[in-house]
Amino acid sequence: MDNAELQHLAHEELAHARKLSWRELKKITPWGDSFRGFAPSGREVEIERSYLWAGEGEAILCEVVVRCIPDRERCGAEARCVITPEGAA
């Protein structure tokens, strides 16, 4: 599988997180989940999201990891950003 495709998926999921308001983000932080989905190529992947407090509670670190299934395959991608009250949607 093309890691560029996985990187695109990770950044796409991160873009969804950036659309949340600060109020919405504060309600779910700290939090994380994972779910299975499909890459555009049809390959099954696992997407893991986490929202953690950063900067003494003044910001939220959002991390997204996309992994190939099954785990024995060596492919994956990560994306992360720090969201501040001013930078939230």
DSSP 62-84: EEEEEEESSTTS--EEEEEEEE-
- Above 60 in pLDDT, residue 1? no
CATH code at position 54: 3.30.1300
Q: For residues 19 and 85, is the Cβ–Cβ distance under 8 A?
A: no
Question: Who wins on pLDDT, 74 or 71?
Answer: 74
3-state secondary structure of 44: strand
- Above 80 in pLDDT, residue 87? no
The reply to whether 22 falls in a domain is yes
The reply to whether 49 falls in a domain is yes
Question: Who wins on pLDDT, 17 or 1?
Answer: 17
> What does the pLDDT look like over 24-68, one tens digit per residue?
999 999 999 999 999 888 889 999 999 999 988 889 999 999 998
Range of the domain at 9: 3-83
Number of domains in the chain: 1
The reply to whether 16 falls in a domain is yes
Our CA angle for 25, 84, 34, nearest 5°, is 40
The reply to whether 78 falls in a domain is yes
